[in-house]
Amino acid sequence: MLLSLPISCHRRYLSVVLSLGLASSLQGAIVITSVSTTLDTATSFSQTVPGAGSSSFGSDTNYTINFGVQGDLRMTGFAANSTNFTVNTNLLTNVFLRRNSAQLSGVTPNHQIAWYRATDTNYSSGDTRNVQASFVPTLEALLGGNIINRGTDNMFENTGNNSGNNNNIERADFIFSGNDALTPQNQAHLDGVGFTILERGGNDPIYVSAILGINGSQVTNLSQPVLVAAGDWGNTDLWPTGDNRTLVLRDTAVAGEYRPSDVTPDSQRLVGLYFSLETLGVSVGDTVYGYAIMAGDTNMTIAGADLDRLLDWNDAEIFPTNTTSANGGLDLVSGGSAFIQDGLDTDGLFVAIPEPSVFGLVAALGAFGYVFVRRRRMR
C-alpha cells in the first residue's frame, strides 16, 4: 500500500511502502530548496574523439571536447524546510559501483557514462563542445566530491536506451573515506545529520539505505530501504542561471576516452533530497558508514523481508538485469558527503572506523568473551 506520511508541518515526504516484508520509510526525505556553492578553478583538458555512434553524434565524425572551461561548482551546503546544513569535510566518501558480473547484452563490463554541464556561452562551435567542469577519467571518482555540474546518466538502466547509454550497475555504495563514522546519540543527531542525493531531471525512482556494517570496502549490513517515487523530487530547480544543457559521454573501453552520445535539453532541472539518519531508519547508537542507492525495480517484496539478499548485487532475482529507464534512469549528480545541521551539538556523534584487519579481531575477541563468560557462569 503506497502512502504519504506527513510527520511534521511544512515537510514534503516521500511515498513509502508500509507492510510486513516490504521496504519502508519510517519518515520521509525533505526537498532541498537551495544550495550553497563555490566555484573552484577547473583543470583544462581536451579530447578529440569519434562520436559514440548515436543519432546525435555519428562515429564517422571526430569531436573536440574541452573540459574545465568554466569551473567546478562545489556544493558546500543547502537549505531544506527552512533549516541550513553544511557539508562535513571529515565525512567524504569513496564510491563503489556494484556491477552485475554477467555479460549484459549491449553493455561492456565496466561501461562508464558521464554528463557535464554545458558552458553558459559558446557551448558549441562546429564539431567542438565546451563544458564547465574538470574531466575525471573514472566514474567512481566523478561521483564523489560534490561537484554538481557533472554526474552520470541512466545509472541503473540495463536496456532500452536509444543512444546506447545502458549500464550494468546494480547498487552504488558511498562509504566514508576518512577515519570517522557516525554514531547518533540523540534525536537531534538523527534529524540533523544525513545525506543528500541530487538528480538531473528529477523523475526517477530509487531505493536508499544507510550502510550499517562494513568490512573494508564491502558492505555487510544495510538499513531497511526507503523508496523515492518518481514524483517525490519536488519542483525546485537548483541550477544556477545559465545554460542547463548537459553533454552526455560514454567510455565503453574504460580507457578514459569518453565519446559524446547525447545532449540533454535546457529544460531539465537539477533537484535534490535530504535524507536524515531518522529517515533512513537509523536508531540512536547505530554506527553509520555511508549510504547505498539502488534502482526503483529492486525486488523489495523478497529483500524487504531478508535484507541480506541486498548484499549480493549479482542476485538477479533481487537486482533485475532488464531494468529500463522507467526504474533505472537515475541521472545522479556528483555528491557523497554527510551534511550536518548548522549549530548542531555534535558531541559523541563521531566514532573511529576500525582498519579492515581489525574487524576480524573484534569478532574473535567477541567470541572469546562469550566463551569466557559462559565458562565463568557454568562454574
Domain of residue 228 covers 2-378
User: Measured between alpha carbons, how far is 232 from 142 in angstroms, rounded to an integer?
Assistant: 25
Q: Would you say 152 and 261 are in contact if contact means Cβ atoms under 8 Å apart?
A: no
Closest CA to 273 of 75, 28, 84, 31: 31
Number of domains in the chain: 1
One-letter identity of residue 314: N
Q: Provide the 3-class DSSP secondary structure of residue 70.
A: coil
* Matching residue, cell 544495510: 222
234-272 burial, b at 16+ Cβ within 10 Å, e below that, comes to bebebbeebebbbbbbbbbeeeebbbbbbbbeeebbbbb
Nine cell digits for residue 46: 581536451
pTM of the model as a whole: 0.87
Q: What is the pLDDT along the chain (379 residues), one digit of tens a residue?
A: 233 333 333 333 343 333 333 344 335 899 999 999 999 999 999 999 999 999 899 999 999 999 999 999 999 999 999 999 999 999 999 999 999 977 777 777 788 999 999 999 999 999 999 999 999 999 999 999 999 999 999 999 998 888 778 888 999 999 999 999 999 999 999 999 999 999 999 999 999 999 999 999 999 999 999 999 999 999 999 999 888 999 999 998 777 899 999 999 999 999 999 999 999 999 999 999 999 999 999 999 999 999 999 999 999 999 999 999 999 999 999 999 999 999 999 999 999 998 775 444 444 444 444 333 344 444 4
Q: Would you say 158 and 321 are in contact if contact means Cβ atoms under 8 Å apart?
A: yes
